[in-house]
Amino acid sequence: MSYEAHFEHADDVMAHLAVIVPEIPDAVLQAKYSGFAAVAAVTVYEIALKDILFEFAESQHPLLGVFTHSQWDRINGRIRLCHIKDDYLASFGGDYVVCFRDALDAATTKYLVEHGSDIVTSYSNLILWRHDFVHQARVSASATFEDVRKSYEAGKRVLACVHEALYA
């Protein structure tokens, strides 16, 4: 299964909430739905990242696949860019880190021109919003549901860059 297939779960949540959230008159409740959306988004990011890493490792050697599964099966919450570069890609070799940085730079520039937002900032913000919601029962006072939705769409490009770096 393609790592992108996992996005369907959060895509469905986002589409449903996009209809409901703007109609909610209570700003605090809207913010809580935004937190819920951030959880759904980051969850599929985690699953997609694991699929990318596992599929790549298995394609290189069956033993590497087994080892990768045993090491990274529980990476939940550890998907910040520093983890992707320093923990996961660097384990396969420095060339993959360089490829990822190059792909990320190119994708960031392209997305900024096309959509006016930075994929790295969007990805990082979404992880932060999810963390605050899940671990501190805090909702962002500044991030709207639309911010979460747009950040989710932009953040998908980060995972595409991971995939590109491993298969380039």
Q: Which residues contact 152 (CB under 8 A, 6 or more apart)?
A: 10, 14, 37, 38, 41, 122, 126
Say what the pLDDT of residue 139 is.
73
Look up residue 45 and give its DSSP letter.
H
Q: Which long-range contacts (CB under 8 A, 24 or more apart) does 9-12 make?
A: 9/40, 9/43, 9/44, 10/37, 10/40, 10/41, 10/43, 10/44, 10/152
Confidence of residue 103 (pLDDT cuts 50, 70, 90): very high
What's the rounded mean pLDDT across residues 13-22? 96
* CB 127 within 8 Å of CB 79: yes
Tens digits of per-residue pLDDT, 58-89?
999 999 999 999 999 888 779 999 999 999 99
3 state SS of 10? helix
Alpha-carbon distance of 68 to 104, in angstroms, equals: 23
